[in-house]
């Protein structure tokens, strides 16, 4: 099992090595057995939203950051998350 705190701050890159940024927030949804991680928020806007909150209510749940679906992840290493090239 991986802890949410281990994902925050990790670098994110594609399988071909393109760096996309760092994980600034997580998205989860309730599941009958607890919580299910559904995505990672990366990008400067995602960090800003995490630090100061959304100043203007928006239908965008990631506050301008880029949401990477959990299913897109191909590898988890210490400090590095790799996703499918097709997810960018």
Go through the domains of the chain in sequence order and give each one's CATH number: 4-87 (2.30.30.240)
Q: At 7, which helix (H) or strand (E)?
A: helix 4-7
With 0.95 as the threshold, say if the pTM is over it. Answer: no
Q: What is the mean pLDDT of residues 9-16?
A: 96
Are 75 and 82 in contact by the 8 Å Cβ rule? The answer is yes
Q: Examine the pLDDT at 12 and tell me if it is beyond 50.
A: yes
Q: What is the mean pLDDT of residues 34-41?
A: 92
pLDDT, greater one: 69 or 55:
69
pLDDT at 79: 95
Choose among 59, 23, 52: nearest CA to 40.
Answer: 23
pLDDT at 84: 95
């Amino acid at each position: 099992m991986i802890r949410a705190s281990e994902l925050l701050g990790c670098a994110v890159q594609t399988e071909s090595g393109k760096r996309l940024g760092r994980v600034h927030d997580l998205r989860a949804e309730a599941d009958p057995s607890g919580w299910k991680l559904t995505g990672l928020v990366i990008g400067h806007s995602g960090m800003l939203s995490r630090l100061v909150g959304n100043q203007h209510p928006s239908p965008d749940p990631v506050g301008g950051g880029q949401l990477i679906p959990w299913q897109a992840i191909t590898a988890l290493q210490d400090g590095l998350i790799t996703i499918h090239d097709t997810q960018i």
